[in-house]
Amino acid sequence: MQRLNSYLHSEKTPPYVVNLDPAVLKIPYGANIDIRDSVKYKKVMENYNLGPNGAIVTSLNLFSTKIDQVISLVEKKSDKYKNVIIDTPGQIECFIWSASGAIITEAFASTFPTVIAYIVDTPRNTSPTTFISNMLYACSILYKTKLPMIVVFNKTDIQKADFAKEWLTDFEAFQEALRSNEDDETQGSGYMNSLVNSMSLMLEEFYSQLDVVGVSSYTGEGFDEFMKAVDNKVDEYNDYYKSERERILKEKEEKEKLRKEKNLSHLMNDLGISDKNKGKRDEVDVLSDTEDYEEGENDGLVPHDDDEGVEREYTFPGDRQNGEINDNTNEALQARYQNAYEKTAKEASSKTAENIAKYINQQ
């Protein structure tokens, strides 16, 4: 990160720098956005009783809740900065395979052309088994993020990356290195080499899609080639990945639309709405909209009694719609209620007495 930052400054195109590693003690570059300013890694470990990796994931989870603000800040600086470089945690499983890592990656990729740089320690990959393990990591990252990726073999000042480039393009050369490695090792090499051989065959197609560069963060060698690869991948993003991502998003929207229509159809069936009525009304807004109606018949409105010519008799004083006070005044109505109550009580008492007599006779 520091060598890339220094290189871009020397090219008079200083980058906008983001650090997403909450556990790093010191960074040798100035970060415009630093996760450590928002989340305290050690406090997360203490408060949630977590280990190092769990605390990294939790810190990223907390930070990802504000990723919209980060994107907004970067957008505001887009006219000033050509490049944004982002340092992620070195633990692949903590970032690539976590929900927060996917959220952060998706947020950037949905707004800016985004390229993944997978850094490989060249001196440690001279063994075919270690090399194939790193290629499996690279393959998993590519298909997880679905973004353009560059495999960067670092530390070429110690070990040139020519052997790795040859293994990626020449299957026979890798097989020869694998046989040589088998002769050198004595414990379990047969099983391991058989597995590595199978995986190399599987990854041959994957290699053809990779851009591979060798760099030295110590000397600065290879960064011209790296930035050319980045420019090529930006074009690839615009030509292929951007349209593919838009297609995926559109497909998701269509699936969601179909799901809503299906749920609406089920609801209408449950409410007993026919297809004929469904064509007349697209949405069910209120309960009255679910009533069956025929066109021209009040348009689903319940007719008032006044429209039917029903004459009302009002039992309360006053005048309403020219209604007249009749004999059903409050006093007369109260008397009728009292007579009805006494009659019902008398009938109930008589019925109870009959039931008791019947029970005694049965005993």
DSSP conformation letters of 249-315: HHHHHHHHHHHHHHHHHHHHHHTT--HHHHHH-S---SGGGGS---TTSGGGPPPPGGGGTPPP-B-
pLDDT grade, residue 288 (50/70/90)?
Answer: very low
Weakest-pLDDT range from 37-51, 96-110, 111-125, 263-277: 263-277
Instruction: Look over the chain and give the mean of its residue pLDDT values, rounded to a whole number.
Output: 80
pLDDT grade, residue 237 (50/70/90)?
Answer: confident
pLDDT of 231 reads 92
Weakest-pLDDT range from 143-152, 168-177, 281-290, 328-337: 281-290
C-alpha 251 chain-centroid distance: 15
pLDDT in tens, 345-357: 677 666 666 666 6
* Cβ contacts of 212 within 8 Å, gap of 6 or more: 150, 151, 153, 161, 164, 165, 168
pTM of the entire predicted model: 0.66
Helix axes 52-64, 99-109, angle to 10 degrees: 40
pLDDT of 362 reads 63
The candidate with the shortest Cα–Cα distance to 152, out of 116, 126, 117, 115, is 117
pLDDT of 321 reads 44
Quote the CA–CA distance of 183 and 105 in Å, as a whole number. 43
Decide if pLDDT at 275 tops 60: no
pLDDT of 184 reads 63
Decide if pLDDT at 273 tops 60: yes
294 vs 86, higher pLDDT: 86
Decide if pLDDT at 228 tops 80: yes
Decide if pLDDT at 269 tops 70: yes
pLDDT of 158 reads 94
Backbone angles phi, psi at 3, to 5 degrees: -65, -40
pLDDT of 300 reads 43
Q: Which two tokens stand for residue 224?
A: 């011209």
The candidate with the shortest Cα–Cα distance to 157, out of 115, 206, 121, is 121
Decide if pLDDT at 185 tops 60: no
pLDDT of 247 reads 80
Q: For the residues 207-214, what does the mean pLDDT come to?
A: 86
Q: For the residues 67-87, what does the mean pLDDT come to?
A: 93
Q: For the residues 274-296, what does the mean pLDDT come to?
A: 48
pLDDT of 324 reads 46
pLDDT of 172 reads 86
pLDDT of 201 reads 80
pLDDT of 361 reads 62
Q: For the residues 76-99, what does the mean pLDDT come to?
A: 91
pLDDT of 54 reads 92
Write the secondary structure of 204-218 as one string of H (helix), E (strand) and C (coil). HHHHCCCEEEECCCC
pLDDT of 274 reads 54
pLDDT grade, residue 267 (50/70/90)?
Answer: confident
Decide if pLDDT at 305 tops 60: no
41 vs 183, higher pLDDT: 41
Q: What percent of the chain has pLDDT over 90?
A: 44
pLDDT of 329 reads 53
Q: Of 110-124, 248-262, 330-344, which has the strongest mean pLDDT?
A: 110-124
pLDDT of 355 reads 64
